[in-house]
Amino acid sequence: MTAYQRCVLSAVSFLIAVPFSIAANDKPDQSAATKNEVFAPGRGVIDDPSGYVNVLADKQPGAAIIENVKTGERVSFECQVGDKWCKVTLRSGKSGWAPSNRIKRYFTMKDLPTKGGDLG
């Protein structure tokens, strides 16, 4: 199975599992995945009950704040399953680090495979 196929399968599994695994203010449980499984660069939205997330210069809470990002704002991100921090790139082009549990994957219908697509 290629990396693309794993990514598509992961995305479809995520879309199916999330509605059944989220209670109020809970995040999806990703503990079943292996630490070395890499998420392909993804698109997401910031999801924080406080209404914003600080994007930081480094992967630690005391690092310099690059920008405040409001809940619902789209970002690009990269991280591995189980990581506490994701590398995010903002629409402005700035990049930094945000807590992985504050990023929700973002999909559109065109991101999903079409009937007859190459899923292996």
Q: Enumerate the H helices of 25-119 as residue ranges.
A: none
- Asked whether residue 117 is domain-assigned, the answer is no
What's the number of domains the chain is made of?
1
CA distance linking residue 23 with residue 120, whole number of Å: 33
Neighbours of 10 (CB within 10 A): 17
pLDDT, mean of residues 47-76: 94
Cα angle 9, 11, 17 (rounded to 5 degrees) comes to: 100
Structural domain boundaries, residue 56: 3-111
- Asked whether residue 27 is domain-assigned, the answer is yes
pTM score, two decimals? 0.58
- Asked whether residue 80 is domain-assigned, the answer is yes
Is 87's pLDDT higher than 80?
A: yes
What is the model's pLDDT at position 42?
A: 82
